[in-house]
Structure formats: structure tokens, C-alpha cells
Amino acid sequence: MVTLRRLRRLAFGGLPMSEPGIVIFDGHCNLCNGAVDFLLKRDRAGQLRFTANQNEAGKRILAENAAGFAGGAPPDAIFLFEDGRLYASSTAALRIARRLPFPWKLAYAAIVIPRSLRDPIYAWVARNRYRWFGKKETCRLPTPDERGRFLP
């Protein structure tokens, strides 16, 4: 049973993250690039670093850590590499939100919803993201101010 105390701890739990999490996103996807812009504006504490799954760093992290996924890393997912573990899809999105300031971190309370319910909704949006939001021919290039937050 989920109690109010547990939800509060999930949303506000002391999260002194020792290492920044690495968000691995689809650099061609307009929705994904919009999400990165959203995160950059709100993550003033520098809790997140970024790389596209088309970049060498993204490919390497996925190749080295995708063993935990049946059939390899899901192709339409956003990923968070955090504390030596790779998270995908809705779990990654919620763990990313957990690193943001209030009120965005409240979204992490949705982690109590079973992944079997969260991931199909995530997968439906992911399957349609190019049709709904469009696609770029090249990966997102960080601005000079953002460059320190991106892995090559």
C-alpha cells in the first residue's frame, strides 16, 4: 500500500546526487530536443548531462549497459544513466524529473504506478513522436553556453 508518507519521501526525498545523471535522447526527434531544452532551463544545479543516442558517448553507454533489457535497449526510448545503471522509457523520465527542482520533482511520485501501465503510454507517444512533432535531419548541436553539459 502506498502511504502519503511514502509518496512524500519519493517526491521530496533527500537526493544529494553525487554524480550527474546522463540523459540519452534521440538527437533527431523534435519532441526529444524540446525535452532537453526544458530540462536545461530547469536544471540549474547541473544534475543532468546530455548526449544523443547517435553520438559516440550515447552509443557506448547504451552498448555497455543494455544487457538488462530483453532484446537490447528499446529503440524509441529516452534513457538515464545514473549510479552505474541504465533506465529507459517512463522510468527514465520519472527519474529525470526527480533531479529537477520543485514542483517538477513531484512527478516522481508516479513511480508507484506499475511500469506495466506506464510504459505502454510512453511507447504510444514514442511511436508517434516523429509524426506529431517532426524530425530533424541532423542531431541537435548545443549552444556555446550549453556545451559543458553535453557529452561528445
Pairing between β-strand 79-82 and β-strand 85-88 as defined by DSSP bridges: antiparallel
State the pTM of this model: 0.83
Structure confidence at residue 76 (pLDDT): 80
Dump pLDDT digits (tens) for 29-50.
999 999 999 999 999 999 999 9
Q: Is 120 helix (H, G, I), strand (E, B) or coil?
A: helix
Structure confidence at residue 22 (pLDDT): 97
First to last CA, the chain: 43
Please confirm whether the linkage preceding 103 is cis (ω < 30° from 0): yes
DSSP conformational letter for 101: P
Q: How confident is the model at residue 14 (pLDDT cuts 50, 70, 90)?
A: very low
pLDDT at 104 over 60: yes
Which structural domains are found in the chain, ordered by start?
Answer: 19-138 (3.40.30)
